[in-house]
Each structure stands twice: as structure tokens, then as C-alpha cells.
Structure 1
Amino acid sequence: MNLVNHADNRPLAGLVVADFSRVLAGPYCTMLLADLGATVIKVESHAGDDTRQWMPPARDGVSTYYMSVNRNKQAIALDLSKEEDLEFAYAIIDRADIFIENFKPNGLKKFGLDKSQTLDRWPSLIHASITGFGTEGGAHLPGYDLLVQALSGFMHVTGDPDGPPTRAGVAIFDVVAGLHTTVGILAAVAERARSGKGQHVDIDLLSSTQAALVNQTTGNVACDNEPQRLGNDHPSLFPYGPFQAADGEIIICCGNNGQFRRLMEQLGQPEVADDPRFTEMALRNANREELRVLIETALRTQTIDTWFERLSSVKVPCAPIKTIGEGIRYSEQLGLNPISMAGEGEQAVPTVSSPIRLSRTPVRYDIAPPTINQDIDAVRAWVESTSARDVSEQSMQKVGG
């Protein structure tokens, strides 16, 4: 049996990914690769990926956390401490283009799968590692997203000015690290097409987070600015955030003078756009509390829905604050098709659609998130019917032999 579908026209069809990652950052990366056509073999311990146990919520007893990042994959379970299973792991990597893992630094060395060992044994392999805080001084720190939110400064700038530091409502930097890993892998694939050589892709959550903090971190390193919590306000833009209407808060985002002028015209206060206190963004920031009073006095005369329709009609960026479910339904109203069924027949489950839309070779959702070890027979048959790619002869000895 061949797990690789050579009739598949998606961009990454033909690439084989040995996925030894777990939890979120790595599995998110490999799901993106699988959505785009790569054959992903998810290798777990017999206890399974930690996220299989992260409930509630669940669908038919399956963790929706696990479901969110594991569609389109083949799943097997191995115990690398057993020689037979380790040899099978080698056989899979023998045939893989990409090996991805998020073990603790040096955690794979005893299995012969440390980055220096893999690139020696498999010269064209792309080995991607995700750690929490790198492999030097932070090697001992566990890579949890919440720790990174704290140590990066993200929590320090999130929350109300007089309140405590606040975490994001999702493990956002695991996702960002997964995206960075995907970009790094694709860059390595492109470079290998020229050189024929593999390389190591090294991503750590802290560096990924600091890059994702963009203007906040750059403001610090470029001019020693130390950002503080502003609640829902923006440090550089105003009006930009929630404002009180008659029946609740509406988000308004004015990124330039033209948008601000149109906002004040709709609020019945066109003269405010010419007030010397508010004519430019820096002035509006300096006098934001006086401007907030003027804006909210007008907004309180109408409902959120009324303002959303009126302001949107003149291209003033605004939005009501919705729940997750309301956001999905709004996306459906816009024709964005946010829900896709992964798998076929009775095994199909609803998942959140990929945001990547390709005109000729679209994403597919062929495989539902797999159960533990469900594909062991298929993967074993594939190994037995295929040959290794480019194993270096001098590195074929057993680890420590």
C-alpha cells in the first residue's frame, strides 16, 4: 500500500512528513502541511497526544482541542524505548522529507534523533524542532504558551491599566510558532530543490512571540519604550477600540484622518475633525479622553446595529462584539464557509476551514482527526512496499554501536 497519493494535485502532494510533535504548535504546523497535500504520519506514544485528554468540550467523547489541529493525518503509536518500535520510526524517517518534533532539547539524542544525528544519517532531511525557550540557557524551561505570554511581556501589556496582567483567550503564540515553523519548513523545501541538501529548522516559542509582538517589541528595542497596559485602547491610534452606544459597546477603528472625518460627520459633529486638538493622529492620542466624551455622547443616541450599518456604509471601520458562535455565523453570512467536514461518511466531523484559498489546487479535508494507532497497518504496509530515500551509509549503525 502507498500512503502517498500521486494523483493529488495539491501543492505539497508527494512530500512525506514524520510528525513526532504533540499538543499545539507542531500539530498545527503539520495540519497546515497536510491540508496542502503532504502525507503526514502522526507518531504518538501509546498514551496518545496530551490534547486527546483536554476536555471539555468534546464531540462524541473526542476532545475538540485535539480535533482542532489533527485532521488529514495518519496516526500510529510507538514506544521509542523499544528497539522494534525505534527501528520502525527510523524506517518512517528513511522515507520522509520532513521530520518535525517538539521534544525537550536533547530529549531525542538517546534515540539517535537529535538534529546533528538526523542530518548526518539523512542528508536531505528537513528536521524542524520547536522548543519553548531555545536549546541554550532556556533549555530547562517547559514550553507552555502561558509561560511565554508571561515571560515575553505580552501579559504585561494586556488588560486594564488598573487591573492585573491578562492572558489571551487562546494559546495564540503556540499557533504563531506553528505558522513560523510552517514558513521555515517551506523555505527549507524550496532551498533543497536547489541544493539537494536538508537542514535544521529551529523555532522557539519565546522568539516567535517577540517577533509577533511587532510594534510593541520594536518600540522597546528601537527607542527603549516600555509599553504599559491600556485596556482596549491602542498605544498609537485613536479612536481605536470599544465605545459605548445605546445598548452596549461597538468597536471603531480609525487609522487615518479621512476615516476620522467621516466618523465625526456621521456622529453629527463634523467640526470636531477640524478642532486643533484632533486634526492629526498624534493630537488625537494626546487628547483622547476629551475626544472619547464627544464620540460616546453621540453614539449613546443609537443602537450598536444602527451604528454598524451607518458607519460601515461610509467605510468607517467598525464592528459589534460577538461571541465565537456569532462570529462563525457572521462568517457564513459573508460567504466565507468557515466550517468544513473532515473525513467521509459517518466518520466525518465538522472542523474550522483552512483560511488558505488556492484557485487551482484547493485545500481538501479527506481525513478526520485519527484515533490512536488507527493507521498502523497501513503505515507498516507502506514501509514494506517502499524504499528508503538517502540514508548515509556511515550512519546506519545502531545508536551507541
Structure 2
Amino acid sequence: MSIRPWRDIVRRESRQIMVGNVPVGGGAPVTVQTMTNTPTSDAAATIDQIRRCEDVGVDLIRVSCPDTDSTAALPEIVRAANVPIIADIHFHYKRALEAADAGAACLRINPGNIGSPDRVAEVVRAAKANGCAIRIGVNGGSLEKHLLEKYGEPCPDALVESAMDHIKLLQDHDFHEYKVAVKASDFFLAVAAYQQLASVVDCPLHLGITEAGGFVGGTVKSSIGIGSLLWFGIGDTIRVSLSAEPEDEVRVGFEILKALGIRNRGVRVVSCPSCARQGFDVIRTVQALEERLQHIRTPMSLSVLGCVVNGPGEARETDVGITGGGNGKHMVYLSGVTDHHVQDADMIDHIVRLVEAKAAEIESHAAAAKLAAE
């Protein structure tokens, strides 16, 4: 039994699909996605953006394929990428056929939006032949006309009915390698739709609050919506949709997962909001440390507290910690234990070196444990 049952998250059971070499659903780690915003036809620019996202840990990347120039560039992009590429197809089924042949690991397409049953059959055949998964992407802002007429407005029932209609089109062709999203910019609507859908399907679910907004507002909306669903155990892959750079979406996605204890990557920073008691500039220190520690992928924790009120208690729970003291002299904690002091001028460089050393130590112990188990 867990010693902290109030923190347990029991994930919804779902069957597993493969998106390239990445498992989604079926108990696999929740994956973090983003989407490029460069013209896909500009392969060099798109690859450069993909590289930046890979550097911060992205698992899957979606690229838009609205025209033949985009799908023509896709083979080069797929070859260069170190993560599976998802081709976003809107209405033209031929773009889906081209993307599947070009090496896309997944097609984002709504089968009901591409025309006749024959076209759906062609897309399914191409997906099967190329080992592509399909992501059905229902969106509250683009619901089918007959559903809007039936329900009067976007609502959970309408989003779920749309998803079920699209699912049936794939199942009628004996295709089951799909995941589903029922996104909306209203996170109340999205959360309710996902909860309802989760109870009637066994496929993996892709979470997102669409058109969430700018970096600050969109992060808040996405954290509430996606975070609530993940806390309920719902969700197998996520995308944080921000009017910001794709790599920022990835960072926020991982922060949501870290906050919930679902998946840890990199340094989890515990820091105070600062006040008149602070012994150093907490805000600027945290900003500098977050920027300089982005290269750390090892899961670990760092506490940065401005004074001794809560500092020692927080430091006891982290791998590396610092608490502000008087006269520009601050206490450093290693593995929760007081270790030494550091002066203002050396503090940031010193903490970076300590975190890097601790990450190397953790990785060394993990490698030794793995070798011993083998």
C-alpha cells in the first residue's frame, strides 16, 4: 500500500498503439507532443525547429501538411527527426496518402471530413500499408453542422458523438490503431467531454485545451484542464497549445507531468515567491538557474528559498538546496543535509556545478543498478 494514498493517480486502462517506435496508451508513459509552426515545405526551418524541441525532450512532433509542397518535404523531415512525425491533414485525403507514403508515423485526420467512404478506405489502406497510426481530432470550434443543429451549441455530448462517428468509420474498415482527442478552448467543456469519452472507448486519448492563448494565460488554462484530467487518470499523450514557441509547449507539458508526479524529466525547482526576508534575489536567481539547467535531463530536485523560515524544511526534501542567510552568505544543502556556505557572487555558478554533479551521480548509480540487475 502506498504511504501517500492521497497522491495516488490510478490511470484509466486503455489499449496500446504504436506511433512509430513510441508506445501510446496501455500503461506506457504519458507522452508530450508539440507542433511546428514553420512552413512544412521549408524542410530546413522545420528540422531546425524540431531539433530545438528534441533538445527539451519532446516525444512526438506534428507538422501541418496542407499542400503537395508540404508532403514533398516530409521524407527529408522524417529522415532528419529523432522522434516520430505526425502529419496533420485537414480535408484533402490525397495529402494523407502522400504523408503515409512519405514516412509519417501517424496521420491526424477526421475520417468523416475527407469525403466518400471510398476515400476513407484509401486512407486506411495507406495507413495499414505504411504502419501509420491515426489520430482523430475532434474540436469544439469545428463541429459538424448536423451536430450543431442537433445540440444547438458545442457541448460534451456533441463532441463525443462526433468522435464516435469518426471511430466507427475506422472500425468499419477493421482499423484500430487510433487515438482520439475531443478538444475545446473552454476547458470546462473539454474536461467534461474527455470524461464522457473515456467511459465509452478503450483507445488511447490525446489531451489538449485548444487555442488556449498566450504563454501565461494558455499555460494556466492548459494546466487546469490537462492537469485535472491526468489527476483523474485520463490521458495517454498531451499537447499544450500555446501562442508561443513549440519548445515552450514541451517545457510546460513536462512541468504539468512533473507537478503531478506522473513523469519526471530534468530539474524540478521548488522556490519561494520571495519577500522582504530574502537574503538574495530569489526571482532573478531562479530565472537564471532554470535557463542554465535546461540541459539536465536526469530527474532531480532543487530548492531555492530566500530565508530560513521555510528554507531548511524544503531543502530536506530536495537533492540540492540553498537558503538565504545574512551578509551575503547562504547555506547549501546536499541530499537534504546542511553542507557548506556560499557567497552571493559565486552562488549561481556554484549551484549549477552542484546540480550537474548530482545528476551525474544519479545517472551513475542508475547505470550500476541496471548492470547489477542484468
TM-score bracket, shorter-length normalisation: 0.3 to 0.5
| Higher RCO (CA-CA < 8 Å; seq separation 6+) | 1
Structure with greater Cα Rg: 1
What is the TM-score normalised by the length of structure 1?
A: 0.31
Q: Which has the higher helix share?
A: 2
